[in-house]
Amino acid sequence: MTRAETVMGVKIASGMDASKELDAVIALLMKHPNIAPFVSLRLIQHLVTSNPSPQYLSRVATVFQNNGKGVSGDMKAVIKAILLDPEARNGDIPGNSGARFGKLKEPVFWYAAMLRGMDCKKPPYGTYQGNKYVNSPQNQNPDNPPNIFSFYQAADRAPGSNLLAPEQKLINTLEFRDRLGNLHWQFLNPNNPDSLSNRTDSGCDLNSLINAFKESPSAYINLVEKMWFKGAMPPTLKQNMNIMILSKQGYSTAEEGTLLLMQFALTSPYFGVIK
C-alpha cells in the first residue's frame, strides 16, 4: 500500500507489503464486536443447527472472543464449544431435541447419506449424448453453485416464519419428486439404459434390502431402521411403512416395493432433519 488508508475509522499506515497489510486488516476485523457472533452463527448452522438459541450463540461467541487464555479466534476452542454445548448434545438421545432444533439435510448431503446407507462404492450415473455423468441433486449441483456465496444465505428463513432455515431454500417440489422417484429411474426403470449397469457398477447393496422385503415387513423395516435411522426409527413411520407394504400400494414386485418404501422413509422429516 503506497499511502495510508482509513478502514472502518482506523488508519492503516502506508508502506506495508501485502502480507502486513492483510494482517492489519484481519486484526482490525477481529476487534469488531460483530465478528464473534457473525462467525459463530455460521459455524453453528453448518455443524449443528440452523436456528440456534441466543444463549447458545452467546456461549460460542464468548469463546470466540476469548478461549480462556486471552486468545481470540481460536478455532479449535470454538469448534469444541459448538459441538459440546448442552444444546448440541441434546441430540445424543433420539427425540430429546426441541421441535425447532436441528437442520434440514441439504440435497447433496441427503443424497450422499442415502448412498452411504446402501454401502455404495460409486454413485450411480447417467448418459447424455453418449457421455456418462455422475448423478447429483438437481437443486444442488456441488460443482455449480449459483454465486460465490454458495446456495443460500445464513439469514434465509423458513417461509412464513422468523426461524432461520437456510437449507430449506433448496427443499422444494422438484427436490421431493427426485427423492421419491429417482432411485427407481437409476436402478429399475427399463427405459433407462443405465439402470442395470448402475445396480452392478455402483456396488450399492440392494440385494440385502430386497431379500429382507421378501422375508417380511418387519425384517425390511428393521433393516431400513438399522441402515439409515441408527436403530431409532419413530413408531409412526414404522406403522405407516408396514401399512404400505401390506396394502401393496404403488408396486407389483419386491424390487419396486423395496425402493418405493425406502424412498418414502428417507423423504420423511424423520430422516430429512438432522437433530
15 pLDDT higher than 60 = yes
Helix, strand or coil, per DSSP, at residue 3 = coil
What distance in Å separates the CA atoms of residue 83 and residue 47, rounded to the nearest whole number? 8
Does residue 14 register a pLDDT over 80? no
pLDDT of residue 138: 80
C-alpha to C-alpha distance for 252 and 274, rounded to whole angstroms: 33
Question: What is residue 187's predicted lDDT score, i.e. its pLDDT?
Answer: 87
Torsion (CA) 209, 225, 219, 120 in degrees, nearest 10:
20
21-53 tens-digit pLDDT = 777 778 888 888 899 999 999 999 999 999 999
HSE toward the beta carbon, residue 6, CA cutoff 13 A: 1
- Residue 8 pLDDT: 66
**What's the mean pLDDT in 86-99?**
82
Distance CA 225, CA 103 (A): 20
**Distance between CA atoms of residues 58 and 126, nearest Å:** 47
The residue with greater pLDDT, 232 or 95, is 232
Q: Identify the pLDDT of residue 126.
A: 81
Q: Cα–Cα–Cα angle for 185, 188, 189, nearest 5°?
A: 55
Cα diameter, the chain: 78
- Give the relative orientation of helices 107-117 and 173-187 as an angle to the nearest 10 degrees: 30
Those residues with Cβ within 8 angstroms of residue 188's Cβ, 6 or more apart along the chain or in another chain = 195, 255, 256, 259
Distances (CA, A) of 30 to 2, 62, 75, 191: 24, 13, 13, 57
Per-residue model confidence (pLDDT) at position 159: 85
**What is the residue whose three cell numbers read 396394502?**
247
pLDDT of residue 128: 79
Mean pLDDT value across residues 125-148: 82
User: Please, what is the average pLDDT of the chain?
Assistant: 88
- What is the sign of the dihedral through the CA atoms of 157, 163, 166 and 171? negative
Residue 42: CA count within 13 A, CB half-sphere: 10
Question: Model confidence over 162-204: pLDDT tens digits?
Answer: 889 999 989 888 898 888 888 888 888 877 888 878 888 889 9
pLDDT band for position 2 (cuts 50, 70, 90): low
